[in-house]
Amino acid sequence: MRIGQFTRSSEERPWAGVVGDERVIHLREAGVAVGVDLPRRTVSLLGEWHWREKVALAVEYATETGVGAYDLADLDRHAPVTDPRKAICVGLNYEDHAEESGGDPPDEPVLFAKFTSAITGPGEIAWNPELTDKVDYEAELCVVIGAEAREVTENEAMEHVAGYTPGNDVSARDLQFADEQWTRGKSLDSFGPIGPDLVTTDEVADVHDLSIWAELDGERLQDSTTANLIFSVPELVAFCSQAFTLKPGDVIFTGTPAGVGIFREPSELLEEGSEITVGIEGVGELTNHCTYR
């Protein structure tokens, strides 16, 4: 299934819904009607006991009765997951990106954090041009945790994954390189767009065989496949879980392939008016417009 978060007006708080055939099922509304208590937000939903079965029941009822069903065109989209406890990023997880950045492929995953206040959905990426003028894109497959994971093995890891969503690890390169560590340059407000939907694992036959790309103003600048990941999704989930407990709704940005703007000749960076789209085969396309604050 595809789970997103939506609003019907600017006054409404985002709510989780299942997307299908240009219709969206408001899970809390449909759940109340069928006698199932479903949380409003995706993060809370993923923490529910047997959430998949409860969602299926609500969707079946809404499909039959129309209760809680809305036209997708009448709704505003938000990030499919908001306010995760953690947004974990993996650096240099494609060999060609490690090479273009002047580094060697790592022997184990390179982790860094993106503040969760950076998480946003389709819509605007915005920044102050007096703070940074070297803003870059990074197309990434994001993994969303669906069950608490602590010290799990690679064989157990996928039992703890809810699904996947496209992500863009937007980076202020001047801040990143000046600081000599990555947190500030990766964590400006709106620098973690994800979405538009969370696609559950059962919808993806092989997460390690998906085309992934980025297009800047219609020009394809990144074009690769998740088959080129150095560290697989199970490896990353298991590795992270050895260090800290993964909670439902946590997001892991799994790394970007070659073709980022800063290392191109000449550089091709984001600026006011740019439109950047990240696409992942079978998972979706995430489009953001760029503006100055």
* E runs forming strands in 198-283: 198-200, 211-216, 219-225, 251-253, 275-280
**Same-domain pairing of 67 and 157:** no
From 41, 59, 78, the end of a domain falls on 78
First to last CA, the chain: 36
**Same-domain pairing of 118 and 100:** yes
From 78, 111, 134, the end of a domain falls on 78
Predicted pLDDT of residue 77:
97
Query: Is the confidence at residue 143, as pLDDT, over 90?
Result: yes
Predicted pLDDT of residue 50:
95
Query: Is the confidence at residue 31, as pLDDT, over 90?
Result: yes
Contacts with 35 (C-beta within 8 Å, 6 or more apart), sequence order: none
CATH number, residue 269: 3.90.850.10
pLDDT tens profile 20-29: 989 999 999 9
Predicted pLDDT of residue 238:
98
The whole domain housing 93 covers: 87-292
Q: What is the mean pLDDT of residues 214-222?
A: 98
DSSP letter (8 states) at residue 62: H
From 25, 56, 78, the end of a domain falls on 78
How far is residue 90's CA from residue 208's CA, in Å, rounded to a whole number?
A: 16
pLDDT tens profile 225-273: 999 999 999 999 999 999 999 999 999 999 999 999 999 999 999 999 9
Q: What is the mean pLDDT of residues 182-206?
A: 98
Query: Is the confidence at residue 62, as pLDDT, over 90?
Result: yes
pLDDT level of residue 102 (50, 70, 90 thresholds): confident
Q: What is the mean pLDDT of residues 128-145?
A: 98
**Same-domain pairing of 71 and 160:** no
pLDDT level of residue 159 (50, 70, 90 thresholds): very high
Whole-model pTM: value is 0.97
pLDDT level of residue 103 (50, 70, 90 thresholds): confident
**Same-domain pairing of 101 and 242:** yes
Contacts with 232 (C-beta within 8 Å, 6 or more apart), sequence order: 154, 208
**Same-domain pairing of 73 and 96:** no
Q: What is the mean pLDDT of residues 75-103?
A: 95
Torsion from C-alpha of 68, 27, 88, 277, nearest 10 degrees: -20
Mean residue pLDDT of the chain comes to: 97
Q: What is the mean pLDDT of residues 97-117?
A: 94
Number of compact structural domains in the chain: 2
**Same-domain pairing of 134 and 229:** yes
Neighbours of 67 (CB within 10 A): 17
